[in-house]
Structure formats: structure tokens, C-alpha cells
Amino acid sequence: MDWGGPTFVIAIIAISTAGWLINNWIRAKHGYALENEWGGMTELMGGGESDAETKRLKAENRELHDKIDAMQDRMIVLEKIVTDRGYSLAEEIEALRDTPTKSADSGVPLNLGKKENQS
């Protein structure tokens, strides 16, 4: 193998360039500043959120998580109420059906089984 030939030099340059590209791709994927060709750092386009914005978003995120936790607690209580042995909707409906009405003639008769004589 010829260590001083152009093939070896081109291979070294290709490997270095590929490493630089992979490094920048990983940094961009995770939101870090990108390294430019001179070793300096450049900010992502459209990025650059300020610390105040980051703090505000974190506080809002924390608030939303707290609301979700509170709602989950309420849902657990509601599930306990609904599945409690003492709570029986079917039994309450049946008890209402068994209750006699005030008068036998309450409501409008439907006469479902009778045909009316028309004159």
C-alpha cells in the first residue's frame, strides 16, 4: 500500500468529512449548536430560544402535568363511586318501576290493541 499516494489522502479526507457531517447531524437532531468548518459554533436556524422562553415553557409544562395528575385523582374517585357495591343504578330503576302511580288514569291512553270505529 502506498501511504503517500493520492488514494490514501483522499480516503483520509473522505473519512474526516463523513465524521464531521455525522457529528453535525447528531448535534442538530438533539438541538445543539452546529460546528462550522472552522471549528466555531453556529446557532440553528429558527432556534435560539431565550432562557426566559425556556423557563416559561418548562413552567407551563409543569402546570399541565399537575392538572393531569389532579384529573387522574378525580377519575380514580369517580371510578370508585361508580363501581362501589352500594351504588346500583339498575336497582334504583327497578325500585322506581315498582312504585305505584298516584292515579290509575294518569297519562294518555294509547289504545294499542283496539281499533276505533269510525262512523
Beta bridge partners of 78: none
Q: Examine the pLDDT at 38 and tell me if it is beyond 90.
A: no
Which has the higher per-residue pLDDT, 67 or 97? 67
Distances (CA, A) of 99 to 86, 87, 93, 103: 21, 20, 10, 12
Longest dimension (CA), the chain: 121
Displacement of CA 49 from its chain's centroid (Å):
24
- Residue 50 cell numbers, joined: 431565550
Q: Read off the pTM.
A: 0.35
Q: 81 Cβ partners below 8 Å, 6+ apart?
A: 87
- Residue 2 cell numbers, joined: 502506498
- Residue 77 cell numbers, joined: 374517585
pLDDT winner (highest mean) among 36-40, 41-45, 49-53: 49-53
Give me the pLDDT at residue 58, please: 92
Alpha helices for the chain (secondary structure H): 6-29, 51-83, 89-98
Give me the pLDDT at residue 45, please: 52
Confidence class of residue 79 from pLDDT cuts 50, 70 and 90? confident
Confidence class of residue 71 from pLDDT cuts 50, 70 and 90? very high
Displacement of CA 27 from its chain's centroid (Å):
26
